[in-house]
Chain A
Amino acid sequence: MAGVHLKGIVKRYGKGDPVLKGIDLDVEESEFMVLVGPSGCGKSTILRVVSGLEEIDSGEIRIGERVVNDAPPRERDIAMVFQNYALYPHLKVYDNIAFGLRVRKTPKEEIDTLVREAAELLNLGSMLDKLPKELSGGERQRVALGRAIVRKPKAFLFDEPLSNLDAKLRVQMRAEISALHQRLKITTLYVTHDQVEAMTMGERITVLESGEIQQTDVPMGLYERPANRFVGTFIGSPPMNILDARLDGGRLAVGECIFSAGVPDELRNRADSRGFLLGIRPEHLEVHDRPEGLRATIDLIEPMGGESNIYLSTGAGRVVATMPGIAVRKRSDEVFLRFDPAAAHFFDSRSGVRLGEGSVPGRSG
């Protein structure tokens, strides 16, 4: 086992913009690192350069102590799990799992022990004699996992391994992969576009956009202190509301509403004339009837069971609020929105960069 360290990785295809524009990333030994971002952000390319399937244009890749920039995949001793499982359709489960060991000329008895061990771990014992096409999606994914773990590699690379599964299986496999990591403690680089997967599985998460790292942090760190507008809206569901805000005589103003509460000092130091963005998570918005705060009209209510998502129109834009329980209100109701400015995030309206240290967890009254 070993850490995976990337320094200034640049990768381009053809003549256009680079796909990776200087990636610095340290995955520590035994760590479960999730790479998350929208499609085309370069997250899969990172996996491919780490695995050696793609070469880099500049930078340095280190696995453990060894710089592997020019090493072919087989010398890097890593294992990869693909989105479409990449099982060999003509080989039985047993042979699929044994494939990598056979390539490495492992003795027969050892292969058998290792394959059965892995199958046991993944609950595949009864399926060893089946062909991939006889298995369900979840089972195939477990075979793919088996193929990865059986070799006891230095690191695991997962490329959106759950996106071909239905929602229920996805939740189950999420837990299984996490549990597997708890047991094996193998350094893992896990790529997904699903922020829920990222939040629930990652020990740390790296958010990518347009070939650049936006932020790397533990899940709650990302949630509570997003480094920029992109991270703020990408992490969390429903996404963070972003409203245009300004300072009015030192007080925070959104739309027609001026809040009595103060704003962080850093903001106050900015020129009053310059606007900025206010980010507020749906659960920090309070919907009530007293004429206090932002006036809003309910557009849509989504009951989720334990809570409800309420979509509203305000003078400053459309927002969504999350309320516990079943909402008693209905469409077109006129309501008011209130929030604790201490729970708000502030971003530069042009660069999207976080302003101030603000944002205290917890609700306000």
Chain B
Amino acid sequence: MGSFLRRYAQPYLFIAPAAVVMLLVVLYPFIYNFIIAFSNMSLYHLRNPEFVGLQHFRTIFTEPEIVSVFAKTVIWTVVNVAAHLFLGVGLAILLNQEVKGRGIFRALLILPWAMPQYITALTWRGMFNYQYGAVNLMLRALHLPAVPWQANEYWALAAPIIANIWLGFPFMMIIALGGLQSIPKELYEAAEIDGAGWWFRLRKITLPLLKPVLVPATVLGTIWTFNNLNVIWLVSHYGEPADKTHILVTYVYKAAFHYYRYGYAAAFSVVIFILLLSFVVYFLKATGEKGAAG
């Protein structure tokens, strides 16, 4: 013990302040959330919450909207992440080639990412206006029918998805670009000499070698998208129409900060946490990335 202290006291002392802050701002709220998930804390029981056991969890799973909200969450996440990956990797491959004006393209494509989400989301909301929004104006110019982006249940989900795809692909692009640049060009040359065409090289070299960077980026992207409150909340104007445009987090957010249903929202957050945790564990196992990225 004495020798342990002598040996490690100094590094631990250095870590201590950060560790304390982490405990305070991460661990404490996390545990507190679990505790109030089992209480009836709400505006009416703010100072005197009582233990209500699994009541909130029963409510959550019998909520009439739960299936539809969950389905929309899955659609939201899968479509977004898939589009981010497809666009991000595709554009990264294009940008990784020797093209004239590559720097300008690169800067332009990163732009959506450089703008505050809040502003982007509100701008997109304006662009989705039925009568005067840019999107419908373009559709009309192309002699296509205008789309009720904010009135129809399904289009109202499509609108924030489009906005979020626009917002999110640069991240994947940057990650993929970094991954691409770490692939030695000799691999492509060797394959070219072996007679491999563009498509073969993409499938057999580029994609497998991007996997180590794309797997964690996809996991992160999935969690972020799954939990992305801002975009869908703002573009759909808090879930319009008729609270049909909700994913799990916006649903919880509304319960917590609109109706002050703290206990219920905490319980819902626990459910979301368990969902995401299972996803991450499953995904990492399925892709065989046990920390072996190299």
Identify the A interface with B (CB < 8 A). 51-53, 72-74, 76, 78-80, 82, 84, 86, 88-91, 99-100, 103-104, 133, 147, 151
Contacts and interface: CB of A to CB of B under 8 A. Distances in A.
Contact of A73 (B186, B195, B204, B208): B195
Contact of A82 (B189, B194, B197, B209): B189
A74 B184 contact: no
Contact of A151 (B191, B192, B194, B208): B194
A246 to B, nearest CB: 51
A86 B184 contact: yes
Contacts of B186: 82, 84, 86
B103 interface: no
Contacts of B275: none
Interface in B181-198: 184, 186-187, 189-197
Interface residues of B, number: 19
B204 A99 contact: yes
Nearest to B196: A103
A79 B209 contact: no
Given A74-B194, A133-B294, A90 B189 contact: no
Contacts of A74: 192-197
7 contacts: A82-B190, A84-B186, A88-B187, A89-B294, A90-B209, A103-B195, A151-B194
A104 B190 CA distance: 14
Contacts of A133: 294
B194 A99 contact: yes
Contacts of B273: none
B139 interface: no
B259 interface: no
A103 B200 contact: yes
B182 to A, nearest CB: 11
Contact of B184 (A73, A84, A99): A84
A148 to B, nearest CB: 9
B193 A79 contact: yes
Nearest to A159: B186
Contact of A80 (B184, B190, B195, B208): B190
Contacts of A78: 193
B43 interface: no
Given A86-B186, A90-B209, A104 B195 contact: yes
Contacts of B294: 89, 133
Contact of A53 (B193, B194, B209): B193
A81 B104 CA distance: 36
A99 B197 CA distance: 12
Given A73-B193, A80-B190, A84-B184, 8 more contacts: A74-B197, A76-B193, A82-B186, A86-B184, A88-B187, A103-B194, A103-B200, A147-B190
B202 interface: no
A133 B209 CA distance: 14
Nearest to A157: B193
B187 A100 contact: no
B91 to A, nearest CB: 23
B187 A86 contact: yes
A53 B189 contact: yes
A76 B204 CA distance: 22
A88 B194 CA distance: 13
B23 interface: no
B67 interface: no
Interface string B259-294: 000000000000000000000000000000000001
B46 interface: no
B191 A99 contact: yes
A84 B190 CA distance: 11
Nearest to A153: B193
B114 interface: no
Contacts of A100: 194-195
B199 to A, nearest CB: 11
Contact of B189 (A76, A80, A99): A80
A52 B193 contact: yes
8 closest A-B pairs by beta carbon, nearest first, are A74-B195, A100-B194, A86-B186, A86-B190, A90-B208, A103-B196, A73-B193, A82-B186
A74 B208 CA distance: 22
B205 interface: yes
Contacts of B197: 74
Contacts of B189: 51, 53, 80, 82, 86
A157 to B, nearest CB: 8
A86 B193 CA distance: 12
A73 B197 CA distance: 10
Most buried by A among B184, B186, B208: B186
A300 to B, nearest CB: 41
A52 B168 CA distance: 39
Nearest to A89: B209
B195 A53 contact: no
Contacts of B209: 88-90
Most buried by A among B186, B193, B204: B193
B196 A88 contact: no
Interface string B227-240: 00000000000000
Nearest to B195: A74
A89 B292 CA distance: 13
A272 to B, nearest CB: 56
Given A82-B186, A84-B184, A86-B186, A103 B208 contact: no
Most buried by B among A52, A74, A84: A74
B191 to A, nearest CB: 7
A79 B189 CA distance: 11
A82 B187 CA distance: 9
A133 B200 CA distance: 23
Nearest to B209: A90
B113 to A, nearest CB: 29
